[in-house]
Amino acid sequence: MHRSTPSTRSGKSVQDGGQAVRASAARALAPVITAKGSLSDLDDHQVVIRDRALFKAMCYGVCRTLPRLEALAAKLLKSPFKARDADVQALLLLGIYQLLYLRIPAHAAVGETAGAARDLGKEWATKVINGCLRRLTRESAALQAEVDKDPAVALLHPRWLLKALRQAWPDDWRAVCDANNQPGPMTLRINRRRGDREAYLARLVESGIQARLCTHSPDGLVLEKPCDVQALPGFAEGDVSVQDEAAQLAAELLGPALAPRPGGRVLDACCAPGGKTAHLLELFDIELIALDSDAVRLARVEDTLERLGLSASLVHADATARDWWDGTAFDAILLDAPCSGTGVIRRHPDIKRLRRPSDIIKLAELQARLLDNLWPLLRPGGSLLYATCSVLREENDEQVRDFLARTPDASVTTPEEVSWGHPAGAGRQLLPEPDSHDGFFYARLKKQG
- Write out the binding residues for S-adenosyl-L-methionine: 270-276, 292, 318, 336
CA–CA distance, 379 with 342 (Å, rounded to integer): 32
Partnered with residue 445 across adjacent β-strands are 384, 412
Q: Which of 59, 132, 339, 389 is catalytic?
A: 389
CA distances from 442 to 15, 343, 388, 428 (A): 50, 12, 7, 5
Amino acid sitting at position 4: S
Beta bridge partners of 412: 445
Burial level of 253, CB count in 10 A (0-12/13-18/19+)?
buried
Q: Indicate if 389 belongs to the active site.
A: yes
Which residue from 444, 442, 446, 447 is spatially nearest to 216, judged by alpha carbons?
Answer: 442
Sign of CA dihedral 347, 348, 353, 357: negative
Q: Is the peptide bond before 273 cis (omega within 30 degrees of 0)?
A: yes
Instruction: Taking the CA atoms of 361, 363, 364 and 370 in sequence, report the sign of the dihedral they define.
Output: positive
Q: One-letter amino acid identity for 316?
A: H
Binding-site residues sit at 270-276, 292, 318, 336
Beta strands in 160-317 (DSSP E): 187-190, 211-213, 220-223, 240-242, 264-269, 286-292, 313-316
- Please name the amino acid found at residue 323: D
Q: How far apart are CA 75 and CA 140, in angstroms?
A: 11
Give CA–CA dist 115/76, Å, rounded. Answer: 18
Residues annotated as catalytic are 389
